[in-house]
Amino acid sequence: MKGVIANFRSSRHRQTDNQMILKVEGISSKDKATALVGKTVTWLCPGKNKKPLKGKITGAHGNSGAVKALFETGMPGQCLSKEVLVE
């Protein structure tokens, strides 16, 4: 299953670099989004090494099917609006 990184998870004054908001294709409700909790998310870094950054879906975000993902390291800004693989 594929998804797109929508944004960093943030509050009014802070931005968490290792928590991202994802939109997964085919998921349009909160009930379907909560079924994805616990699945692994992988993003491939661009460049010659293609290092994969792995994360885990932790919960739904809002009512329109977005999910929160917790990555093992901080994510770079170039990952925004790029594809991820949900397994």
Going from N- to C-terminal start, the domains of the chain cover 2-86
Single out the residue of 71, 78, 24, 80 nearest to residue 52, CA to CA: 71
Query: What's phi and psi for 44, nearest 5 deg?
Result: -95, 125
Six token digits for residue 80: 């925004």
Kindly report, residue by residue over 61-75, the tens digit of the pLDDT.
Answer: 999 999 999 999 999
Output the pLDDT for position 15.
94
Single out the residue of 9, 14, 12, 15 nearest to residue 60, CA to CA: 9
pTM > 0.85: yes or no: yes
| Yes or no: domain 2-86 corresponds to CATH 1.10.3720.10 | no
- Band (pLDDT 50/70/90 cuts) for residue 83 is very high
Tell me which H or E stretch contains 10: strand 2-10
Six token digits for residue 4: 């797109």
- Band (pLDDT 50/70/90 cuts) for residue 13 is very high
